[in-house]
Amino acid sequence: MINRTTILGQYKGTFQQPDIFGYYGHFGGAYIPEMLHPNVEELKEQYLKIMYDEGFQTAFRDLLKDYVGRPSPLYHAKRLSEKHNSTIFLKREDLNHTGAHKINNTIGQILLARRLGKHRIIAETGAGQHGVATATVCALMNMQCLVYMGEKDIERQAPNVARMKMLGATVVPATSGSKTLKDATNEAIRDWINNPVDTHYIIGSVVGPHPYPDMVARFQSIISEEIRWQLKEKTGSELPDYVIACVGGGSNAAGTFYHYLEEFSVKLVAVEAAGHGVKTGMSAATTQLGKPGVLHGSKSLVMQTEDGQVVEPHSISAGLDYPGIGPLHAHLYETGRGIFLSATDKEALDAAFELTRLEGIIPALESAHAIAGLNQLKLTPKDTVVICLSGRGDKDMATYMKVMEG
Ligand SMILES: *Cc1c(COP(=O)(O)O)cnc(C)c1O
């Protein structure tokens, strides 16, 4: 049992909730251009009222059940358990409609957008996973959908671009800078400034200005809400010894940790992408390499040069290839409430093949990082471990095929 006061020091709040300015300890807030103020303010005023309205909750839960396919199973992975000398459960977010956890958030935000009276949706996307999850709910709700995507990413991610178009979204190329995610984000923000009245911006992770990190964490918290009762059914206790999730921006981890944040007997393990190795200059291990800074509207840990230029990250998995981390996670790192590990590209690939051969489940490359984290924990047969399997591996088959061809 970890002693709460030693971890928290002077901290008086809770991990689940930022303060009224959106701060988790030193991290969070809303660092936005003046012209974005009305949009963000409106959202800040409304989001909790709307989200906890009974009608909203009914609509949200109905869609999660019948459209997404929730509750996602909590699967006792017996052969993986044997290999790692403990009892391991996989939270099967890979079985959700569209193949990952991202849909939990986009369903929530599209319902919220409707209640705010918005009929036009914008989003940014890197690899296209969040773009697809957004285009999906826009088709479902008959909303206009614009997805900003770096020109370079559009070339690299043709299948997801095709999916978004088939779903009726307009994919807008971002042609400035490095023509990748950060440029797409800039374009989306510009669009929102120009269309404040009719448009909602769906951010895809627990990043961005307050209230996005808190709002997205709450939508994703369905993951740990389910884990608690599912684990109780299977083991007699709601509390495992460890919960493990991979971290890009941190939304699947936030959802997996959420209802355990204040349960101090449960160790929260976040696995970042080390890329070629933390010290190689080709990495995305933000807590190891980052310093406090502002990225995409909030203060957090950011990979940056001495003079504050954001560093280009690297990971084999597109979803973890991000130079920042959500402010909740920066706070979990700083306070020691979270254990932060990293797995290299190679370790993640090995874990993906291990899981596939042991359990017949091909994971997303992102999720394989969480599996790889198992090797760095000193597990005993008494330990119960829950791992968030954030997504399925279909989208990563080209990478897996390259490995098999040697
Ligand atoms: C996008 C993605 C991630 C990373 O995003 P988080 O916000 O850190 O969860 C992880 N796994 C999968 C399958 C993804 O698609």
**Could you tell me if the CB of 361 is within 6 A of ligand 1?**
no
The overall longest dimension of the chain from CA atoms, in Å, is 57
Q: Cβ distance 263 to 174 under 8 Å?
A: no
Neighbours of 314 (CB within 10 A): 18
Residue 150 is part of a domain; what is its CATH number?
A: 3.40.50.1100
- Indicate if 76 and 131 belong to the same structural domain: no
Q: What pTM does this model have?
A: 0.96
- Indicate if 248 and 370 belong to the same structural domain: yes
Q: What is the DSSP letter of 67?
A: I
Residue closest by Cα to atom 5 of ligand 1: 248
The whole domain housing 155 covers: 24-61+102-216
**Could you tell me if the CB of 247 is within 6 A of ligand 1?**
yes
Residue type, 302: V
Q: Would you call 27 helix, strand, or coil by DSSP?
A: strand
- Indicate if 228 and 165 belong to the same structural domain: no
Per 3-state DSSP, the chain is made up of helix, strand and coil in percentages (nearest 5) of 50, 20, 35
Q: Closest by alpha carbon to 244, among 406, 48, 386?
A: 386
SS (H, E, C) 160-222: HHHHHHHCCCEEEEECCCCCCHHHHHHHHHHHHHHCCCCEEECCCCCCCCCCHHHHHHHHHCH
pLDDT at 315: 92
Q: Cβ distance 301 to 286 under 8 Å?
A: yes
- Indicate if 204 and 257 belong to the same structural domain: no
Task: Please give the structure tokens belonging to residue 16.
Answer: 């689940």
Mutate to test the pocket of ligand 1, among 246, 328, 369 (most ligand atoms within 8 A of CB): 246
pLDDT at 182: 83
- Indicate if 352 and 205 belong to the same structural domain: no
323 is a domain residue: yes
- Indicate if 246 and 119 belong to the same structural domain: no
**Could you tell me if the CB of 230 is within 6 A of ligand 1?**
no
15 is a domain residue: no
Burial of 3 (0-12, 13-18, 19+ CB in 10 A): exposed
**Could you tell me if the CB of 319 is within 6 A of ligand 1?**
yes
Strand partners, 340: 270
- Name the domain boundary from 187, 216, 245: 216
- Name the domain boundary from 216, 243, 278: 216
Q: Cβ distance 56 to 47 under 8 Å?
A: no
**Could you tell me if the CB of 181 is within 6 A of ligand 1?**
no
pLDDT at 4: 38
**Could you tell me if the CB of 393 is within 6 A of ligand 1?**
no
- The distance in angstroms from the start CA to the end CA of the chain is 45
Q: Cβ distance 96 to 65 under 8 Å?
A: no
- Indicate if 82 and 114 belong to the same structural domain: no
- Name the domain boundary from 216, 246, 262: 216
Can you tell me the distance from the alpha carbon of 374 to that of 88, in angstroms, rounded to the nearest whole number? 10
- Indicate if 111 and 197 belong to the same structural domain: yes
Asked if 395 is an active-site residue, the reply is no
**Could you tell me if the CB of 125 is within 6 A of ligand 1?**
no
327 is a domain residue: yes
5 is a domain residue: no
pLDDT at 13: 55
Task: Please give the structure tokens belonging to residue 287.
Answer: 């807590």
How far does Cα 286 stand from its chain's mean position?
Answer: 14
Question: Which residues of the chain fall below pLDDT 70?
Answer: 1-13
Residue closest by Cα to atom 13 of ligand 1: 391
Q: Cβ distance 261 to 358 under 8 Å?
A: no
Peptide linkage before 211 cis (omega within 30 of 0): yes
**Could you tell me if the CB of 91 is within 6 A of ligand 1?**
no
Q: Closest by alpha carbon to 223, among 62, 100, 43?
A: 100
Q: Looking at 72, 81, 93, 124, which residue is catalytic?
A: 124
Residue closest by Cα to atom 1 of ligand 1: 319
- Domains in the chain: how many in total? 2
Can you tell me the distance from the alpha carbon of 355 to that of 142, in angstroms, rounded to the nearest whole number? 38
- State in Å: Cα 303 to ligand 1 middle: 18
* Phi–psi pair at 390, nearest 5 degrees: -65, -25
- Indicate if 207 and 287 belong to the same structural domain: no
11 is a domain residue: no
Q: Cα-Cα-Cα-Cα dihedral of 287, 290, 293, 297, to 10°? A: -60
Task: Please give the structure tokens belonging to residue 80.
Answer: 């993986």
Only one residue has tokens 């809770």, namely: 14
Mutate to test the pocket of ligand 1, among 251, 296, 301, 316 (most ligand atoms within 8 A of CB): 251
- State in Å: Cα 316 to ligand 1 middle: 13
Neighbours of 157 (CB within 10 A): 24
Residue closest by Cα to atom 3 of ligand 1: 319
pLDDT at 178: 83
- Indicate if 166 and 52 belong to the same structural domain: yes
Q: Closest by alpha carbon to 298, among 20, 21, 17, 8?
A: 21
**Could you tell me if the CB of 316 is within 6 A of ligand 1?**
no
Q: Closest by alpha carbon to 387, among 401, 374, 404, 405?
A: 374
397 is a domain residue: yes
- State in Å: Cα 342 to ligand 1 middle: 15
- Indicate if 309 and 383 belong to the same structural domain: yes
Computed on alpha carbons and rounded to an integer, the radius of gyration of the chain in Å comes to: 20
Beta-carbon contacts of 312 under 8 Å, excluding residues fewer than 6 positions away, are 178, 323
Asked if 102 is an active-site residue, the reply is yes
